[in-house]
Structure 1
Amino acid sequence: MGNHMTKNHAFRSILAVAFVTGVAVLPNAAEAKDWWPFKINAAKGGDLKKVEALDYVPLEKAEKPWNLCVLFPHLKDSYWVSVDYGIVEEAKRLGVKVTVLQAGGYDALPKQLSQYDDCVASGAQGILVAAISEAGLAAKLKEGDAKGLVQIAVANPILETPITARITPDTYQKGFQEGEYLKKYLGDKKTTAIGLPGPQGSGWAESYMAGFRDSTKTGNIKLAAELYGEPGVPQSLRLVEDALQTYPDLNVIWGGAAAAEAAVSAVADAGRDDVVIMSSYENQTMLKLVKEGKVLGFAAEYPVMMGRISVDLAVRALEKKDYEKVLLVAPGIVTKDNVDKIDPTQIFAPDGWKPEFSVQ
């Protein structure tokens, strides 16, 4: 992750501009059928020092029904269900085949490794990978690269291992900008914060944390602890409850969506309505809690759009058409003030939509 931090520092100022306008507003009804153009940042030639904003427009149709395979860590929350929705819908629109596999959790790396082998054995021409751990999957990805497989990192960053392309949030920038937002929101008030970024070893959790940590190096927020763990509500609840006991002056809890959801329950039980809670990414529960004023906000990642664009990237690569090697979703902070202005079709699967595992 070291290289990623340095590179991200290099273009923090560029993305700060995108951050201000990063929240997509609701489309007119006439525009709702097409999801493009979508504003996104591209690192030209994969160089993170050459980041440009662009309006992404996908292909109209694939030339043939390519066979794609998708690897998810899990489909236990609306975030990954929304990525799945984007992939499935774009596969249908482009006319390609998709098989979706999910490992069951961030503690299931061996399962994801065997699922990678299943993708290869099934004759997949392209693999969309939401890696549980880049380090854990690196050997498989190198094998796939040597075989000429198209491999696209979707949502979870793959930074050092050779792959075809990636579309991910800029996790460092999101953590940093949320820290900046909290400092502005809290003003001169001295605060003690904890961070619950997610599972150690995932890469993205460390990157979120590094951004938030760097932001708190100036200003009035004292970062008391960094608590890593599986991104589930029960696991996060134990961490939050322990932190409330350990740090009696704790008044800011920042972390993933599951951690923020757990924190709402824990601070209510502890009678600590003075604690400010912020989430590093979104799901349906976060949307509800922001509207209710129980969570200050979240930094949007547009899961549906990442899913859609990952399919288009794979098809472009398979058809030897031009494509961007590194696409970064510009963070947009969503709070009670602007939550009704976001376009939910870019973020969430429709209400009641169930995960689909195959497009033929």
Structure 2
Amino acid sequence: MNKAMFRLTMTAALAALPVAAATAEGWYPYPVQVWQPAFDMDSPRRDADYTPLEKASQAWDICVSFPHMKDAYWLGVDYGVTEEAKRLGVRMQVVEAGGYTELNKQISQIEDCVAAGADAVIIGAISLDGLNNVVEEVRSRDIPVIDVINGISSPALTAKSLVSFGEMGAKTGDYLAGLHPAGSDPVKVAWFPGPAGAGWVEAGNAGFAEAIQGSAIELVETKYGDTGKEVQAKLVEDTIAANPDLDYIVGTAVTAEAAVPILRAQGLTDQIKVAAYYFTPGVYQGIRRGQILGAPTDSTAVQGRIAVDQAVRALEGEDLLKHVGPALFVVTGENVEGFDPTSTLAPDGFKPVFQVE
């Protein structure tokens, strides 16, 4: 997608925020995009409204594997998958590997799920390519495998429920480029895309880099790291110390959340602005308070819900959209009051759920 198209989609996203409430009973129909052919993020897309099954025909056992649940982003996905499991009437086990350095643990957890009798597996992948062997092994047993959120490169997948993180990164980059177009005063930006090697990070990084080309933005630092808050806070602190004339901190939602109190403590809130390229409760709160400029939302909870429905459809031989993701929307201080967060965020007080019986 070229920069002109990014700018067009940015304008459309700013104008139209999702209004559907993702409650257990009535989250659908939900506006999505469908990739055709499937499994190629560069494929043409069509708009559609996604409507899941009313109920599963039996209480299938579904295993869900996450990279971690250390931040509110994955808590939102957990909310989505477990609530949809309850709505459809299926059993679910959720496992989490503990972080983006734990690829072998994620593989082992998936293998254990299958050995324990899982009928289908949903994977939020630690690595774009590193899970391909286990995906093929699971699929060889005729067990559906759904790729949710992060991206897996294996062609053996049953379906994908995810968005283009390239576009997520590009929407944030394009927003900043619009504030600082070519010919305006240059600004210095530090960019924190997330853990190196993760598919969503590589895509987001490429999208952001392309979107700021030709603008007045100077990218002075690119810092990769796990999305734990302590890791991101250390990266932010080191970057600020090395770049006293920095204008922006931009990156993961955890980066943005960590940056706000650091900037406040150092008296730099007015000098250094913050933006993210995906959405969490902390980012939502920061936008509402004027501490974070904005972020696109990928309707995290809905991605999880769709993945569960795809798994059940595959098990029951129902019609299946093989590659689908919620339409992207950008939330800023200008439109945040019109945004309904229930498609994206777990409710206040929600605790991680690891088992649905």
Question: TM-score normalized by structure 1?
Answer: 0.91
The 5-angstrom pairing of residues 319-358 of structure 1 reads 319-358=316-355
Counterpart Cα distance in 2 of 1:276 and 1:135: 35
Q: Shift of the alpha carbon at 1:189?
A: 3.4
Structure 1: unaligned runs, 5 residues or longer = 1-7
Question: Are the equivalent residues in 2 in contact too, given 1:26–1:342 (CA < 8 A)?
Answer: no
Q: What is the RMSD computed on CA atoms of the aligned residues? A: 2.2
Question: Is 2:142 aligned against 1:148?
Answer: yes
Q: Give the match's secondary structure for 1:45.
A: coil
Distance in 1 separating the partners of 2:119 and 2:326: 26
Give the C-alpha shift of residue 21 in structure 1: 4.9
Alpha-carbon deviations, 1:103-158, whole Å to 9, x = none?
11112222211101111111111100001113221111111122211000111111
Deviation at 1:209, TM superposition (A): 0.9
2:256 counterpart of 1:260? yes
**8 Å Cα contact 1:301-1:331 kept in structure 2:** yes
Q: Is the 8 A contact 1:300 1:334 kept in 2?
A: yes
Q: Distance in 2 between matches of 1:15 and 1:53?
A: 13
- The alpha-carbon distance between structure 1 residues 18 and 118, as it changes in their structure 2 partners (threshold 3 A), is farther
Residue number in structure 2 paired with 1:4? none
- Amino acid corresponding to residue 222 of structure 1 in structure 2: E
Q: Partners in 1 of 2:2 and 2:135 — Cα distance?
A: 27
Instruction: Measure how far apart 1:17 and its partner are.
Output: 7.2
Relative distance call for 1:186 and 1:10 in structure 2 (3 A) is closer
CA distance in 1, matches of 2:135, 2:45: 26
Identical aligned residues as a percent:
38
Q: Which residue does 1:85 correspond to in 2?
A: 79
* Maintained 8 Å contact 2:70/2:228: no
Distance 1:354 1:228 in 2: 28
> Partner residue of 1:43?
35
* Contact 1:176–1:212 under 8 Å retained in 2: yes
**Contact preservation (8 Å) 1:12, 1:173:** no
Match of 1:237 in 2: 233
1:1-360 matches, within 5 Å, as: 19-21=13-15, 23-25=17-19, 33-46=25-38, 48-186=42-180, 188-272=184-268, 273-360=270-357
Work out the CA distance in 2 between the residues paired with 1:174 and 1:69: 27
Relative distance call for 1:15 and 1:330 in structure 2 (3 A) is farther
Could you list the structure 1 runs, at least 4 aligned residues long, displaced by more than 3 angstroms after superposition. 8-22
Q: State the one-letter code of the partner of 1:166.
A: K
* Contact in 1 for aligned 2:71/2:254 (Cα 8 Å): no
Distance 1:160 1:114, change over 3 A: closer
Cα distance in structure 2, aligned partners of 1:210 and 1:314: 30
